[in-house]
Chain A
Amino acid sequence: MSERVVLMQGNEAVAEGALAAGVRFFAGYPITPSSEIAEVMARRMPQVGGTFIQMEDEISSIMAIIGASLAGKKVLTATSGPGFSLMQEGLGYACMIEAPIVILESMRYGPSTGMPTKVSQMDLMQTRWGTHGDHWIIVLSPSSVEESYQLTIRAVNLAEKYRNPVILLSDETISHLREPIDTSTTPTLVERKLPVDKTGYLPYKTDASLIPTIANLGTGYRTSFTGLVHNESGFQTANGHVAEALIERLRDKLFNNLDDIIQYESDRVEDADIVFMSFGITARAVSEAVESLRSQGRKAGSLRFITLFPFDDDRVRSAAGHARTVVVPELNSGQLVLLIKRVFGDSRQIVPMNKINGDLISPQEILSFVKEENL
């Protein structure tokens, strides 16, 4: 292995990925299983001229990164389910004012404080629907330490490009897992669009990209940020037409760019008669189970969601091959499976496989499940 391959923990990889992506402001309130991110950031931020603040709670943490983002910094906070619940108000605000922010959410067992050191995938729907109102969020899901590093860079880039909150949805196992990773490649960084002329400047005016060119705070432009429905100048209005156009634009600025945003990893779905659809840590058990099934002569395949949201039904349908049976293993009582059922209706046999005891689904359990359920 090259000199640049190092043994790293998932949380460390997120912190180092954020540094490589240009993040220079971190505010957070440490919580298991994400605490090492704050620990690494507290050490590393001062070394690169950045700012680390330990806040009094998660509400202030998300508000602090929103403020720093509006002032032009690339930002990150890290939390777990209980803290993420507190962040929902700020998350909706960030969607509405189009603040580029990245939140690392490492899932532990819930609800409430649950089992802090046990893994789950119970917060999938919270990332999508945790905050109120129609809104759109990008959610990325790493399944390894290496991918934690790479997707953190990608999350920062997507946040800046689309001026939208991006959530990295990790879990206790990946957060604490150590694996070799290669940090030698220099990442391509994306910078947010900034205005060049004050004449006629309107912060929320957009071109065909539907992404506004908002000046950073303190750069001499007249700027207004409000969670209220606002017009192009950024001031509040209760005009229904303006409101409708705003919410549609917040959707379309992402949905017009799904090719850029959505990533899957598919494994031998083309000829498969049974396909597993999963994300995060569970996908690694699937990968081994598919290998075993193939070696037994069973035509098995896998579709792993790297981008969880936006979730595009058409893309999933065409990426799924022709398998009669779709198995959806996840560490919750059935969340991803709701989306898969929405995609396929009754056209395929959709089989949920759930585990909620705080342990991972193992490859052997998937093989036993396939056998016992006669799939």
Chain B
Amino acid sequence: MESDKRFELRMTGSGGQGLILASIILAEAAMLEGKTVTQSQVYGAEARGGTTKAELIVSDRHIAYPKVTDPDLLAAMTNEGLKQYGGGISRRTEVIIDSSVMAIPDLLDEENCRGLVALPIRNTVVARLQSELGLNVALLGIIQGLTSIVRVESLREAVAMHVKKQFLNLNMQALDLGIEMVETQSGQGIRI
């Protein structure tokens, strides 16, 4: 986080991956720690599918302009999402991509972003949890592992607020898996 204690996050992917829900969960976790937030998204006309963008600002102070203008973190879960909403990053932006679904994009280098973390998120989630359902929460684990924007306990509490009981265990595992991926795999993951 920057010295003004403001953190801007943009997540993009495909409709149904749960990225909007993930941004809401992270917002709730930040609120549990007494922070203020603004959460927003771009809607398409589709009921599901299509390319989505979810945004979150976390701050210790009042947030005037509620949309992300200079993201600290961009997480791209599909190639399409990165193409459509990958613009607007700067040298302060750390980029996470899911290398299970896309190659390292040429458009990113040390000139236009702070760093790139390429992790096989989807493949790891499916291999370890035998389900794609925890993908969004695994991403939250990765974001937590990379930024410590909120404490893990707050994230757990917020996940429990939003996830149905029968999927709670799966999502908690997904959260741990995301954190673990940062701890153990980031050495193998590609960074610029």
Contact = CB atoms under 8 A, between A and B. Distances in A.
Interface extent on B, as a size class?
A: 20 to 34
A180 interface: yes
A-side interface mostly: mixed
A177 B69 contact: no
Contact of A178 (B39, B44, B65, B69): B39
Contacts of B34: 1
Given A7-B39, A178-B24, A180-B36, A1 B31 contact: yes
Contact of B67 (A5, A179, A362): A362
Contacts, number: 60
A178 B40 contact: yes
A117 B64 contact: no
A173 interface: yes
B43 A176 contact: yes
Interface extent on A, as a size class?
A: 20 to 34
Interface in B18-65: 24, 27-28, 31, 34, 36-45, 63-65
A226 interface: no
A288 interface: yes
B5 to A, nearest CB: 16
A44 B31 CA distance: 25
Nearest to A179: B38
Which of B41, B45, B65 has most chain A Cβ within 10 Å?
B65
B66 interface: yes
Contacts of B27: 7, 178
Nearest to B65: A288
A364 interface: yes
Contacts of A291: 64
A117 B43 CA distance: 6
Nearest to B38: A179
Contacts of B44: 117
Nearest to B27: A7
A119 to B, nearest CB: 10
A179 B66 contact: yes
Interface in A274-289: 281, 284-285, 287-288
Nearest to B36: A180
Given A176-B43, A178-B39, A7 B28 contact: yes
Contact of A177 (B31, B36, B38): B38
Contacts of B42: 117
A180 B31 contact: yes
A363 B65 contact: yes
B64 A287 contact: yes
A7 B63 CA distance: 14
Interface in A352-375: 360, 362-364
Contacts of A130: none
A116 B63 CA distance: 26
Contacts of A180: 31, 36-37
Interface in A168-185: 173, 176-180
Given A5-B31, A7-B28, A178-B27, A173 B65 contact: no
Contact of A288 (B39, B45, B64): B64
Contacts of A176: 40-41, 43
Contacts of B39: 7, 177-179
Nearest to A360: B67
Contacts of A173: 40, 66-67
A179 B65 contact: no
Contacts of A7: 24, 27-28, 31, 37, 39
Nearest to B43: A117
A180 B77 CA distance: 27
A216 to B, nearest CB: 40
B65 A362 contact: yes
B60 to A, nearest CB: 12
A288 B42 CA distance: 22
B143 to A, nearest CB: 18
Contacts of A179: 36-39, 63, 66
A5 B28 CA distance: 11
A358 to B, nearest CB: 11
Contacts of B64: 284-285, 287-288, 291, 363
Contacts of A32: 43
Contacts of A288: 64-65
Given A7-B31, A173-B66, A284-B66, A117 B45 contact: yes
Interface in A117-138: 117
22 contacts: A7-B37, A32-B43, A33-B43, A117-B45, A176-B40, A178-B24, A178-B27, A178-B38, A178-B39, A179-B37, A179-B39, A179-B66, A180-B31, A180-B36, A284-B65, A285-B65, A287-B65, A291-B64, A362-B65, A362-B67, A363-B64, A363-B69
Given A179-B66, A281-B66, A285-B65, 20 more contacts: A7-B24, A7-B27, A7-B39, A32-B43, A117-B42, A117-B43, A173-B40, A176-B43, A177-B39, A179-B36, A179-B38, A179-B63, A284-B64, A284-B66, A287-B64, A287-B65, A362-B69, A363-B64, A363-B65, A364-B69
Interface of A: 1, 5, 7, 32-33, 116-117, 173, 176-180, 281, 284-285, 287-288, 291, 360, 362-364
